[in-house]
A and B are shown apart, each in its own frame.
Chain A
Amino acid sequence: MSVEGQAPAPAAPVPPPAGAAAAIAGRLVARGKDLLGRRRVRIASGSALLLLLVLAGTGWDYRAAPAPGADLSVSPPARPATREGARLVAERQRLETALRRKVPRGTWIVIDQTHNRLRLMRGDDTLLEAPCSAGSGMVLKEGTGGRVWVFDTPRGRFEVLSKLQNPVWRKPDWAFVEEGEPIPKDPGDRLEYGSLGEYALYFGDGYLIHGTLYERLLGRPVSHGCVRLGREPLREVYRQAPLGTPVYIY
């Protein structure tokens, strides 16, 4: 008796003919290849997505500093609550005062040897700014003696150690070597008048701020290490900068 809706019993499998079997096998192989291919595509796209995610989430996470004048609301309370806090506030004040005292109160000189500019300062005010000529950076090699000179202006903090009117240049050896002249034995033969201008301010190690005969080259690095200045700015610097004036060269 058959019940309505019940599935009929499966028929016993009939072995396919040889040709049909080959066709089915071929289809299965093709489908397998297709499946494998799709799987590869899925893996590749998944990996690429992962890589993209990793790359998108890797780099630098920047935060913007608040604009100047923004209220940060971080001012400390007037009176620290703890003894340690009070000690730290006192220490902070002491350090801030020490740092403020580093800034010269009187006249000081700044020389930017890269851009060949000299500034005469008093406190925070700029009294004068003028083109100058700092060291050329040139290397001079002595043909016979093997000596080498590098014409750099030194960097750092110096002080005006002496001031000269109508300075006389006592030419060092390199000045003769550079000109192809024999080095004189008589010290008097080393003296040259007028080439350093009207004034010179000596700041140590043989370096001066002085005038020049070649004002057209001011603003270019052409000196042998000294700082050359035009006639008028030199007068002003000489007038305003007393002995001990700090000279900052960078």
Chain B
Amino acid sequence: MRLLCLALTAALLAPMAVGGATPAAPAKADDPETARLRRQVERLRAERDLASGKGFYLRLDASRHRLALMLQGVALDDYAASALEWGVPEVVFVNRDPGAGWDAAAFSKGRLEPERDRDRIEVVAPPPAASTAPGAETPEPSPPPVPKSAEESYSVPSPYRIAFAEGVSLEVRAKGEGRRNRSLFRRFVDALGLRLSDLGAAVGARERVRLRVTLEAEDAASLYRSLPPDVGLVVVGLPGS
């Protein structure tokens, strides 16, 4: 037991030491106002680059509590967030600093966790009828099955995450969802699983910052079902940016 505790403590402290040893240092010693302007310009450049590309991206406006799916600068879908938070890993009460201006960059290759698998229907075509004898009836090919709608195809977990390559993730929670139709035991198991997953993510070095938005259940489901692959992210309006 004692050895186990020591091993656990060491495992938890080691990444903190690594993370704490490499704080991001500001490139230039600007006055605060110039530094803030510089971050804003950097962020706008990142957004312009995303808007000039061909890929889809999410734009999280923290000051307006809006999350929009964008393509080339155009909001294709826009969701209101009832709550918005951002968090950093905390190991033994010590926060791992993501570095000043972490939100000035754009993030890329966002992937859904858990993944959304598309279940495709495969049809093997019948061989073509060579010739039809006069008077003979040609058999009607059976109509192809009607594909499921998005609502029928994908069940939506709550919460789910969109993990970006740069160590930032966006956690989407559905307001009120996931509680109504779940037993107390199921909720307990979910909460425990989430806590363990949070713990693992905090200790691991992969995630630097996590943004957490709470959307209406319908919006959260809609975003999960329609999110294009390899989506980008730009964050605007966080305090201090």
CB within 8 Å of B: which residues of A?
43-44, 47-48, 50-51, 53-55, 57-68, 72, 74, 76-77, 80-82, 84-85, 88-89, 91-92, 95-96, 98-99, 101-104, 108, 110, 112-116, 136-144, 150, 155-157, 176-183, 217, 219-222, 246, 248, 250
If A65-B85, A68-B65, A142-B125 touch, whether A248 touches B74 (CB-CB below 8 Å) is yes
Taking the nearest CB of chain A, how far is it from the CB of B185, in angstroms?
22
Q: Which residues of A contact B91 (CB under 8 A)?
A: 57-58
Q: Verify B125–A143 contact, CB threshold 8 A.
A: yes
Q: Verify A157–B225 contact, CB threshold 8 A.
A: no
Q: Verify B128–A59 contact, CB threshold 8 A.
A: no
Is B105 on the interface with A (CB-CB < 8 A)? no
Q: Which residues of A contact B37 (CB under 8 A)?
A: 76, 80, 85, 88-89, 92
If A61-B87, A66-B239, A115-B225 touch, whether A104 touches B74 (CB-CB below 8 Å) is yes
Q: Which residues of A contact B147 (CB under 8 A)?
A: 136-138, 220-222
B1-48 contacts to A (CB < 8 Å): 1-2, 5-6, 8-9, 12, 30-31, 33-34, 36-38, 40-41, 44-45, 47-48
Is B157 on the interface with A (CB-CB < 8 A)? no
Q: Which one of A55, A64, A136 contacts B199 once the chains associate, using CB atoms below 8 Å? A: A55
Is B69 on the interface with A (CB-CB < 8 A)? yes
Q: Which residues of B contact A108 (CB under 8 A)?
A: 74
Query: Once the chains are docked, how many angstroms separate the CA of A227 from the CA of B237?
Result: 37
Closest to A180 in B: B126
| Interface CB pairs A-B, < 8 A, 7 | A44-B1, A60-B89, A72-B63, A95-B47, A115-B226, A136-B144, A141-B125
Taking the nearest CB of chain B, how far is it from the CB of A151, in angstroms?
9
Taking the nearest CB of chain B, how far is it from the CB of A31, in angstroms?
23
Closest to B5 in A: A47
Taking the nearest CB of chain B, how far is it from the CB of A146, in angstroms?
11
Closest to A102 in B: B73
Q: Verify A138–B144 contact, CB threshold 8 A.
A: yes
Taking the nearest CB of chain B, how far is it from the CB of A100, in angstroms?
8
Q: Verify B228–A72 contact, CB threshold 8 A.
A: no
